[in-house]
A and B are shown apart, each in its own frame.
Chain A
Amino acid sequence: GAVVSQHPSRVICKSGTSVKIECRSLDFQATTMFWYRQFPKKSLMLMATSNEGSKATYEQGVEKDKFLINHASLTLSTLTVTSAHPEDSSFYICSARLPGQGLGEQYFGPGTRLTVT
């Protein structure tokens, strides 16, 4: 099946710094990728839809200036958490959809655990 990778898998940063998380589709091209955040024992929350070559679409309540998304190629989307604070500590997951596949079949990355100290 399709493979989506994320890097890094785990990151610890100090409050006030910025962190970049990469999401790559390894064996297919993804014009659209999605970014989610998941707090412990909670469900996934969609943050934004990343579109190759255009601006990302953010969900209500998600600060676009704090969570910068760049989708510069058909296989790479990045999420940058700017001026991170402890409340940004969470599990960040990306997903991508195979072109031509059913809308429900999205492939998820393994996630990135962000800890802000």
Chain B
Amino acid sequence: LAKTTQPISMDSYEGQEVNITCSHNNIATNDYITWYQQFPSQGPRFIIQGYKTKVTNEVASLFIPADRKSSTLSLPRVSLSDTAVYYCLVGLGGATNKLIFGTGTLLAVQP
């Protein structure tokens, strides 16, 4: 399973756009990229998943360059309630359907 590298923490202010980048140099051809959000003392929540280019849903956008060795989660106009840990995962498109979590990025949104 491909290893991921994310910043340990990020700070932002309400109303700003936040971009969290994840590196996954060893991503395999059939791997997807998935992001989860976790609040303290809660289970993670699925945010978005993509394979290449750009994916957008009502919560976020996911940008994936052509080489797929990195991806960027974009959160538009964050609010205080977006303060959470964000995990980037890859390696889900093959025979295994296990989720292996990396360290995640703690996003702190301030007023």
- Which residues in A have some Cβ–Cβ distance to B below 8 Å? 4, 32, 34, 36, 43-46, 49, 91, 93-95, 97, 102-111, 113
Contacts and interface: CB of A to CB of B under 8 A. Distances in A.
Main secondary structure of the interface of B (DSSP, over half): loop
B46 A113 contact: no
Contact of A104 (B43, B45, B49, B101): B49
Nearest to B38: A44
29 contacts: A4-B43, A34-B99, A36-B101, A43-B87, A43-B102, A44-B44, A45-B101, A46-B98, A46-B99, A46-B100, A46-B101, A93-B44, A95-B99, A102-B49, A103-B92, A103-B93, A103-B97, A104-B34, A104-B89, A104-B99, A105-B34, A105-B46, A106-B46, A108-B43, A108-B45, A109-B43, A110-B43, A111-B43, A113-B41
B32 A102 contact: yes
- The size bracket of the interface on B is 20 to 34
A7 B93 CA distance: 31
A3 B46 CA distance: 12
A2 B100 CA distance: 21
Nearest to B99: A106
B103 interface: yes
B52 to A, nearest CB: 14
B100 to A, nearest CB: 6
Given A104-B92, A105-B34, 17 more contacts: A32-B97, A43-B102, A44-B38, A44-B99, A46-B98, A46-B99, A46-B100, A49-B98, A93-B43, A95-B99, A103-B32, A103-B97, A105-B49, A107-B46, A108-B44, A110-B42, A111-B42
